[in-house]
Structure 1
């Protein structure tokens, strides 16, 4: 049997489960975070693969439970070394949090507003330096809000409150549906012409309030604190040059969430 062409690291998380449910059978070889503990296991898993997708990392919720955000860098560098040994390109899961309230274009100055965003910036910079040193093709995937794996739709609870800005608007973000994310990632893993950083989302922005309304989930407004970010819009010019894109709508995002087996 021919070995799968993509090694997915950190595949036991929710994004990994999503990809497993959507990707073609036989495309990927799936490894959990435990593979990082044994260089020989990781090297063997990577051997013969053309691409490594590293989803492993520490999220804000994991950090709140005592996880170390610095692990984002350690895990990425380990994936890069495996890529160098296997001759595989490496795609690293980053986040739109690297932009903070700044511009959402890949060459914009990164001004993260949270510890998580700062940890992802540190990861990207360390990874870029090592990729250059090892001559590995690496791309940081700056993923926007994933509808259903986010704090609004995915984290909804009775009594939910959303920040409300002057005029009544709720936070507006670039989003991506769960099915669309899986499809974009599988397409990107098979390309060998990726830039060093790439925004991952669907065109357009959607208010969090509109998203919950489309899902029929009640919420109440609360005054947005001074540090709240009203809008984060990712520039998708690079992505549109690689893949066909479908604009995000509240109804479409909710439909993908409900169609997914990962909820």
Structure 2
């Protein structure tokens, strides 16, 4: 396999740090350039340091992406950052559009990190053909980003794929934000909420496969097959939690269809097991 040359924007977030960890030991990692807003301590990586939202950053972004096959846009504003007044939700669109413009100038394909939050409170098997029905500010911001970038990409002739990523073990609200006294909804059938998940090492492999695949759909769900019960995930991590009766608004299951994804990359049965996802999370360096 010929590994692609990749430029990763927003590389200092949780997913970016995960990719740095797992790609460092693989052949694909040798061809990656990482973007950060400030100088980074790890000098072993190829860093491009600039603020992609600065008024003069368009040139810096295009130059950093020159010669790259793929621009992987991880840059975005999470609900946590927005709550800390460290970002505005509309920056999700601005960052993604900057990546698309760089793709137009350099000829690189663009992969945008979107979110399963686009599906809102819908239940059942959620496929890429469904229209977005977000209910949160974050989901609406990602839906707006997708729509704006489709229009821009069509106008500029750029190949763009939006990746609707499910929960990533360690960058989620369960493992990633666990605190003593953590409580989970329990439904009448005795189960806790079930969600589409993916382990960080599996995600790194999947993203490398997507970067190496020249023809991708415009939208792809990204998760391991099936769903994971949140209580089982915390149990696998050895983290205490208490059960509380689920209210009528609680959603028992959110399951992403990964049929399209599985045409591009494969999964082992173990990839969907909570114990394996927790083990992958535990391989990360502290603070990742």
Q: Same fold (TM over 0.5)?
A: yes
2:135 aligned to which of 108, 113, 118 = 113
2:33 aligned to which of 22, 29, 32 = 29
Moved more, 9-18 or 99-108: 99-108
1:91 aligned to which of 106, 111, 128 = 111
In 1: Cα distance, 2:221 partner to 2:266 partner: 14
Aligned residues: 260
Please say if residues 89 and 138 of structure 1, whose CA atoms lie closer than 8 Å, have aligned partners that are also in contact.
yes
Partner of 1:82, secondary structure, is helix
Partner of 2:8: 8
Q: In the alignment, is residue 250 of structure 1 matched against residue 278 of structure 2? A: no
Q: In the alignment, is residue 18 of structure 1 matched against residue 18 of structure 2? A: yes
Q: Offset of 1:259 from its aligned partner? A: 1.6
Please say if residues 236 and 274 of structure 2, whose CA atoms lie closer than 8 Å, have aligned partners that are also in contact.
yes
Partner of 2:121: 101
Partner of 1:254, secondary structure, is helix
In 1: Cα distance, 2:96 partner to 2:198 partner: 23
Moved more, 216-225 or 155-164: 216-225
Partner of 2:260, secondary structure, is helix
User: How has the CA–CA distance of structure 1 residues 110 and 58 changed in structure 2, closer, same or farther, with 3 Å as cutoff?
Assistant: same
Q: In the alignment, is residue 220 of structure 1 matched against residue 242 of structure 2? A: yes
Q: In the alignment, is residue 63 of structure 1 matched against residue 82 of structure 2? A: yes
Q: Deviations over 1:61-104 (max 9, x none)?
A: 11111221111011100110001000110000011111112251
In 2: Cα distance, 1:35 partner to 1:232 partner: 35
Partner of 2:66: 47
Q: Offset of 1:200 from its aligned partner? A: 0.6
Q: Offset of 1:113 from its aligned partner? A: 2.1
Instruction: Provide structure 2 residue ranges, at least 5 long, that are not aligned to the other structure.
Output: 38-49
Q: In the alignment, is residue 81 of structure 1 matched against residue 92 of structure 2? A: no
Partner of 2:281, secondary structure, is helix
Instruction: Provide structure 1 residue ranges, at least 5 long, that are not aligned to the other structure.
Output: none
Please say if residues 18 and 284 of structure 2, whose CA atoms lie closer than 8 Å, have aligned partners that are also in contact.
yes
Q: Offset of 1:20 from its aligned partner? A: 1.1
Q: Deviations over 1:121-178 (max 9, x none)?
A: 1111111111111110000001010011111111111100112222232111010001
Moved more, 244-253 or 46-55: 244-253
Deviant stretches of 4+, over 3 Å: none
User: How has the CA–CA distance of structure 1 residues 116 and 209 changed in structure 2, closer, same or farther, with 3 Å as cutoff?
Assistant: same
